[in-house]
Amino acid sequence: MNTARLNKQGHILIEQTYLANTPWLRLRGLLGRPPLADNQGMLILPCNSVHTIGMTYPLDIVYLDEKNRVLKITENLSPWRGSGCKGATKVLELVAGNASKKNIKQGDILSW
């Protein structure tokens, strides 16, 4: 699995971002993996909606457009729920509470 660091205006927010960019990796997502740590995330692309079916812990979901601009943030998405965002081309999944803790806001531009 490919990994990268997530940055916002030159500041590292997440040390390890897993990339899910194939049909299998997108389908699997975080299922069957250890829970994300505070310094980890998963970037799913292409993607504009997610579900937490089978998950055992909540997530923060950050929706991004083709320019990596944050369109929407769904915080603390509980297991067995779904969420989506019109116009999103990728999704960043984080530990619940991490979007706020890392000061990620709608309109921010993120980079890897």
Tens digit of each residue's pLDDT (9 = 90 or more) over 74-93 = 999 999 999 999 999 999 99
Superfamily of domain 3-111: Protein of unknown function DUF192 (2.60.120.1140)
C-alpha R_g of the chain: 12
Give the Cα separation of 76 and 97 in Å (integer). 7
Give the Cα separation of 3 and 17 in Å (integer). 5
Mean pLDDT of 93-99: 97
Q: Is the pLDDT of residue 1 over 60?
A: no
Please give the residue that has the higher pLDDT: either 4 or 58. Answer: 58
* pLDDT for residue 10: 82
Of 3-17, 21-35, 67-81, which gets the smallest average pLDDT? 3-17
Domain boundaries defined on the chain: 3-111
Q: How far is CA 54 from CA 30, 48, 91, in A?
A: 9, 19, 18
Sequence-distant (6+) residues with CB within 8 A of 9 are none
Entry pTM? 0.93
